[in-house]
Structure 1
Amino acid sequence: RNFENSINLISKRARIVDGLFGKNLDLMGKLAFELGSALFTDFAGMWREQNDKSTVIQQAIAVEACKELQ
């Protein structure tokens, strides 16, 4: 269930980021992997400011899932 939540959260966040930046998410993903964890940390901080604590826990799971996908 946690993994399913992570995937849903990642896709939800991806749609938001895609809307904000109007970029191709595949390209953004490649850039993120090349730039490394600093970019993920920046995004995590940005989402943390906008969401409640329970969502932050899910985001942390999603970030870990991203790391494993690397």
Structure 2
Amino acid sequence: MATLLGRSHDRAALIAKDLASVRMRVFENIADTQLPALAERYALDHAERDRMATWVDGARPFMAGNQAWHLTAAR
């Protein structure tokens, strides 16, 4: 990333951390706000909402792990 951005290694690491944090906030907004609104808009039934919630619940640990790696990995 440092080469791609033309930045120092340390600066590129900070940018990567910021991008990972933004990605997590966007995911949480979609999961907590936008998906429920879409479920209402399209009148999803209980089973469809459960399947959607199951997928989101499965994606949360992946997103959190990705963010944790970006925040803690030595570069």
Normalised TM-score (structure 2): 0.35
**Larger C-alpha radius of gyration, 1 or 2?**
2
Which protein has greater RCO, CA pairs closer than 8 Å, 6+ apart?
1
Normalised TM-score (structure 1): 0.38
